[in-house]
Structure 1
Amino acid sequence: MGAPPRRARLGLGAVVVLVLAALAVTVAIGVWRGATAPTEHVAGPTPTPGATVAAGRIYVHVDGQVRAPGLYVLPAGSRVVDAVASAGGFADKADRAAVNLARVVADGEQLVVPEKGAAPPAAGPATTGSAPAGGAATIDLNTADSAALEELPRIGPALAQRILEWRDANGRFTAVEDLLAVPGIGDKMLESLRPHVRVG
């Protein structure tokens, strides 16, 4: 008379064991999926043009003699050394002495690392009104408006506005070298601008 209840207890225990085993498998799958989920790389080439940058981040196009040229997203306030490092460091032919590693990079900037022995941009006189090679007229930094400044190489609306703001805050440019005081303009950009600008 005592055998049937014992079989019933054994059957209930087996069901409980099966339910616990199924729960354990479900939890293990969830943990595995979480561990293998992809993570976002903040500093690195951005493969999708048009993507928005989070606050506190900037786009920098690193080109020339670096190991991995491309478009990189960096924390705001990053310097040239950070941009070069994100692009894999200098290539073997890079002219390291031509790059100011301490300069702060700006959003939307194109940073070009030159090759050793490459001819530097033709430099014109800093304070004269002579035209550069090719006959194009130079732009007077003290009278140019935003539209005229944007005609200069590598100068976009944001950088043109910074030049105007510097002029408003500090008065007239006394030499082309004063452009180095404008945020976003470094030694290499100054040399590329020198043939195209003057101080009148």
Structure 2
Amino acid sequence: MRERLPLWLQDRCEVRPRAVAAVGVVLLAAVGFAGQQYWSARPRAVTVPAVVAPGVVPGAVPGAVPAAATAPAGAPASGAGAGGAGAAERIVVDVSGKVRDPGVRRLPAGSRVEDALAAAGGVRPGTDTTGLNRARVLVDGEQVVVGAPAQPPPAAGPGGGAGSGPGLGPGPGPLSLGSATVAQLDGLPGVGPVLAQHIVDFRTARGGFRSVEELRQVDGIGERRFADLRTLVRP
């Protein structure tokens, strides 16, 4: 059949080795590309993360008892050492006078006079608290007296000299630096209105006096004047 065909048609229909090789290469490339696409699009298994119940520590042995549960009674739990001790600091103050429930109160460190009054049920109606600094910071062991009468001036001396007149001297007993008014401080020996105001300003800025020694830091009080005042006042 082939021999009956014209020569030009026989050349066209003749299958040459080069053409067969080219077709084979194309087929191999197509098969490889199709295999690569199939492999990349195949379904894959997904690992689901484990669900951890609330309060369960990951990696803990099942059935193990927490260390806090095995601690002896009264022993602090692990990790609650220094932080718990700092949070538990408290001071003890005595609230007396015209309050609804006077007595000893235990308050957090850094509490102020206002907090002590609230712990004692509040001030009784009609009480004059003009000389009471409610913003003063309390110190351990102090007494807060509400509505106490003003201290009377000392009796005039035999000579009736300056500084011994009415309102110019301290009353009986040490004068409280934490609650004294400017007029009361003015009655101390060697303390005038200006210095008395300096003492009140210092008390307001520092939140009160924690010791009599802090009087040395008040502007206008030297060593000699402090020596005269130290036995006449208290924090």
TM-score by length of 2: 0.33
| Higher Rg | 2
